[in-house]
């Protein structure tokens, strides 16, 4: 049983770059580095190297037709979020999604957020 490409867990540094790509869309190393530099002091080649590794792991795809390669996420933000959640649910919540949700809710949620969530619950109930 080999692991599906889509559920490889990105490391912390990798997730940082994925977040940038999801927000910016396809980008070159330089663009990504410029963005990441706004909040961190990370060298250009560090960003390059991480992207190369991510490419090996198939976490990103890249267009090599121009000299400056253009990187893009291999998976959507949604798919990755689901994968990370699934992992956390298994390892810290005994596999129970509702336990995680309840912990998230009683930890920190504003009134507006609660309403948003109630809305979604209603929709889910319709479907079932």
Strand partners, 71: 27, 62
User: Nearer to a second copy by C-beta: 64 or 106?
Assistant: 106
Site string for DNA, 91-110 (x = CB under 7 A): --------------------
In Å, how far are 17, 55, 63, 91, 113 from 51, measured between CA atoms?
Answer: 8, 6, 13, 27, 35
22 with 37: CB under 8 angstroms? Answer: no
User: Which of positions 52-71 make contact with a second copy (CB under 8 A)?
Assistant: none
Please report whether residue 35 would count as binding a second copy according to CB under 8 A: no
Residue 47: CB atoms within 10 Å: 23
Please report whether residue 52 would count as binding DNA according to CB under 7 A: yes
Please report whether residue 86 would count as binding a second copy according to CB under 8 A: yes
User: Which of positions 88-117 make contact with a second copy (CB under 8 A)?
Assistant: 88-89, 91-94, 96-98, 100-109, 111, 113-114, 116-117
């Amino acid at each position: 049983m080999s692991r599906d490409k889509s559920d490889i867990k990105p490391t912390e540094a990798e997730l940082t770059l994925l977040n940038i790509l999801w927000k910016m869309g396809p980008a070159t190393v330089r663009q990504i580095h410029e963005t990441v530099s706004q909040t961190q002091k990370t060298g250009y080649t560090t960003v390059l190297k991480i992207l190369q590794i991510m490419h090996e792991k198939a976490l990103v795809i890249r267009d090599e037709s121009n000299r400056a390669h253009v990187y893009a996420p291999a998976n959507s933000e949604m798919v990755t979020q689901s994968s990370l959640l699934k992992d956390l649910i298994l390892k810290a919540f005994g596999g129970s999604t509702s336990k995680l949700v309840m912990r998230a809710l009683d930890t920190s949620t504003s009134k507006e957020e609660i309403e948003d969530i109630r809305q979604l619950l209603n929709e889910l109930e319709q479907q079932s």
